[in-house]
Amino acid sequence: MPAVSKGDGMRGLAVFISDIRNCKSKEAEIKRINKELANIRSKFKGDKALDGYSKKKYVCKLLFIFLLGHDIDFGHMEAVNLLSSNKYTEKQIGYLFISVLVNSNSELIRLINNAIKNDLSSRNPTFMCLALHCIANVGSREMAEAFAGEIPRILVAGDTMDSVKQSAALCLLRLYKASPDLVLMGEWTSRVVHLLNDQHMGVVTAAISLITCLSSKNPDEFKTCVSLAVSRLSRIVSSASTDLQDYTYYFVPAPWLSCKLLRLLQCYPPPEDGAVKGRLVECLETILNKAQEPPKSKKVQHSNAKNAILFEAISLIIHYDSEPNLLVRACNQLGQFLQHRETNLRYLALESMCTLASSEFSHEAVKTHIETVINALKTERDVSVRQRAADLLYAMCDRSNAKQIVAEMLSYLETADYSIREEMVLKVAILAEKYAVDYSWYVDTILNLIRIAGDYVSEEVWYRVIQIVINRDDVQGYAAKTVFEALQAPACHENMVKVGGYILGEFGNLIAGDPRSSPLVQFNLLHSKFHLCSVPTRALLLSAYIKFINLFPETKATIQEVLRSDSQIRNSDVELQQRAVEYLKLSSIASTDVLATVLEEMPPFPERESSILAKLKKKKGPGAVSVELEDGKERGELNGGGDRGGDAAIAASNASTPSPSADLLGLRSAAPVSGAAPSAGSLLVDVFSEAGPAASSAGVNDDGFLSALHAPEASDSPLVEGPGDSDSAPPSAASEDPAPPLPESDELLNKFVCKNNGVLFENQLLQIGIKSEYRQNLGRMYLFYGNKTSVQFVSFSTTVSCPGELQSQLNVQTKTVEPLVEGGAQVQQVINIECLTDFIDAPLLNIKFRYGGALQNISLKLPVTINKFFQPTEMAAADFFQRWKQLSQPQQEAQKIFKASHGMDTEVLKAKLLGLGTALLENVDPNPENYVCAGVIQTKAQQVGCLLRLEPNAQAQPGEQMYRLTLRSSKDTVSQRVCDLLAEQF
């Protein structure tokens, strides 16, 4: 920047500012300002031409007056005239005035644009930077139209100075954010990406901000930046603090640039190139290693810079979710921060571990810190940290620790901050329902929840417990006994009265045999709470009373006397009055049979997703997109339909019982899956028994798992049998042909060979999550389509097709999805699969929708592979080798020798082999380093036995390690296909 000469001090401006500061009142300040404005106006209108210094001084005064909050309606032309000055200070004040006071609709904008063009073409770096700063500060559409084509040329020109390149990159970023449709990179794309290789670190830092923004909207155009970003990151991470002296911040080399590089890489999936991926993994390992080193400085700036890079690296590791070793290391590193003295670090560690808990690789590692997290929930002074601790407990919960976590949350609820109590109540209710092996424990938990925090128990929670009790015969007697005991407390929350009234009205007969809970005792207990309750609760209790008349005829006279009292039939509330009159008349004139028919026990509720989940999502907001899975079960912030329960005693509530379907993406829930009530003998209950004893899926009847495959209803979506079945598309689907599968479809499919849950596909608009489970030759897959934008998708349709021979090998049925997906929302699709015979290809999934008027057409391969139908088979060593010898014909064996793509970690290898679906046989192979497995592939046509042997040479140097994989099966095509699939996993 040019030096400011002594004469540029503008003494008149300093005197004016001093006068303003010395004013004793607002009136004195306004008087002084008006005097100065009159003087400036007269100078501008005077006959004598002002020199550049005077113009600059007066324009500065006008700018100062504007910043004090006063309107300025003149001086704009003088400021524009300053732009043509050749003096830096005058031009600078002119640009400053324009940036602050001139709006995009000003008629002076054309003159300003001409002055900016002159400065951009002047090749004077100082003037060019001033012009670029002005464009960025104004950022109007008119300026974008005028300069969006010029700035990229300046940015990539070989003779442009580094300071100008920095300004050009940030200016272009500002214009792109304001008017993305006008900033078209086109031919400049590759040259902008190669700025990542620039020698000047400042240029790289500015350019990466631009590239990150551009690649988030157009990832395919900028995907070449991944290798360059990894290369640059590698050079920074491996450098010493003395190598980048100008960009070393408290012994940390280029921390801001490192964070931006790591953030850029989060816009893309893991690199496909093995060398690039290996180099990136080395970088991430180095960052994790440096976090363990003793600090080089005790100053907080050093630890802040170091930890900023670490947390971005952990975010990238979580984003990739493909490196088990890194995920576990990241979890261990975060675990150390959980007890750090710095509150912000504890908060960030808890927040990151919530995301790590959703990974199948790191979930167990996260669970090891449960005691520390529970301690944080109890002892943290900062409420936001306590809330993150509660979130982490919720995320790490599974069947093994559910009772402990729910107990700790209930204990904490008694002293929890009021701001988080409602959310805590919802989480306890969801966890208790989801992991309830014993439903008596579930009832106890919910009633305890109402006792501890009744004011925060929403209607969704007590609707839910009512519905589960009604749908489960084995818990009804226990529930009636428990609520009867709970109602005997002197101080009883109104929600407890609601639950008690409903359950005793339905199932009070189950405990009426005990003299201590005889019908009259039950009625008197309920009626003792009547006068303390609100009108809706009184209405519910009146309904319970009429139910009592049906269940216990001996109470009829007592209850009729209550209904006949003036306080009921002449009640000022019309609802209570109407109920009292109608119930009294019904009990008087109806015969016993009619009364029994009208007041019969409530039927089981239809199967839908839990409405509590919708309540929790509403609390958390639609922005949090997370995929949380655990051992084939949903975990995390799930959403159900926001059903309203209505009057629980009169009409069937819309609340629902557990379902294996869930809001996998953490977005708003899909429409509930409708269908028949569950059958106790249904195979589906066994397949999805992990969801709890009460869980069963809608749409299943006594005929079994895939009965709908053979007799679909007319209202259901038709079977999707082949690519030529045009009738299978919903009417709102776009008419264009399906796009060819994405180039990365095979890679995405290979990710799911050894796992059933995760994110199948993600771009800037759409996230597709998947959860699938298989038993014998049957499978069920849940697809979750999440809208990541704030704009709705219209004409949303999906099609599943089986190309070629696959039509005769797989039987696939889908449900149609909603054609409209709101911004931040999610829809769910259920796919039933039946394996008829062995197969090689995978079904194709095509998604079409319109976003902002533009058609989006995406095709992927569904991760349905032959190994999904494995049934693990245990056998002794003698049996294994006997069977191995029997399968000795050449066509029955497939073998591959290949180079290891990852480190030979024993636990990871075992996890992948078990994920394949086979049984891992211990102490069978004479060489303890080898792995042998056995399983039977179940198809409708036949069963195919399969034996596997994996021989690693772990003693070799890293980079030279190899595997020999041998598959033998009773069918040659199966041997080859399973061998090909498994070879890609190591």
Most confident of the following: 507-511, 629-633, 909-913: 507-511
**Is domain 867-984 in CATH 3.60.20.10, yes or no?**
no
Q: Which stretches does DSSP call E strand in 155-258? A: 248-249, 252-253
Distance of CA 642 to the CA centre of its chain: 19
Residue 835 has pLDDT above 60, yes or no: yes
**pLDDT digits over 6-23, tens only?**
445 678 889 999 999 999
Per-residue model confidence (pLDDT) at position 144: 87
**pLDDT digits over 544-563, tens only?**
999 998 888 898 899 999 88
Residue 913 has pLDDT above 60, yes or no: yes
Contact status, residue 456 vs residue 422, Cβ threshold 8 Å: yes
pLDDT-above-70 percentage for the chain? 85
**pLDDT digits over 245-269, tens only?**
778 888 888 899 999 999 999 998 8
Three-state SS at 151: helix
**Residue pointed to by tokens 């009640």:** 571
pLDDT band at 535 (very low <50, low <70, confident <90, very high): very high
Please indicate if the annotation marks 60 as binding a ligand: yes
DSSP sequence for 504-554: HHHHGGGSTTSGGG-HHHHHHHHHTTGGGS-HHHHHHHHHHHHHHHHH-GG
Please indicate if the annotation marks 58 as binding a ligand: yes
Please indicate if the annotation marks 91 as binding a ligand: no
Please indicate if the annotation marks 788 as binding a ligand: no
Residue 674 has pLDDT above 80, yes or no: no
pLDDT band at 295 (very low <50, low <70, confident <90, very high): confident
More confident residue, 420 or 27: 27
| Cα 371 from Cα 375, distance rounded (Å) | 6
Please indicate if the annotation marks 666 as binding a ligand: no
CATH topology classification for 744-864: Immunoglobulin-like (2.60.40)
Q: Please, what's the b/e burial string for 607-645 (b: 16 or more CB within 10 A of its CB; e: otherwise)? A: bbbbbbbbbbbeebebeebbbbbbebbbbbbbbbbbbeb
Please indicate if the annotation marks 774 as binding a ligand: no
As a whole number, the mean pLDDT across the chain is 81
| Cα 905 from Cα 985, distance rounded (Å) | 13
Residue 456 has pLDDT above 90, yes or no: no
- Read off the pLDDT of each residue in 383-404 and give the average, rounded to a whole number: 89
**pLDDT digits over 744-781, tens only?**
888 888 888 888 888 888 888 888 989 888 888 889 88
Mode of pairing for the β-strands spanning 794-801 and 810-814:
unpaired
Structure tokens at 482: 């428990």
Please indicate if the annotation marks 88 as binding a ligand: no
| Cα 713 from Cα 680, distance rounded (Å) | 22
Contact status, residue 979 vs residue 895, Cβ threshold 8 Å: yes
**Residue 390's closest CA among 344, 360, 362, 428?**
428
Please indicate if the annotation marks 442 as binding a ligand: no
Please indicate if the annotation marks 320 as binding a ligand: no
Phi and psi of 798, rounded to 5°?
Answer: -130, 150
Per-residue model confidence (pLDDT) at position 73: 86
- 540: how many CB neighbours lie within 10 A of its CB? 23
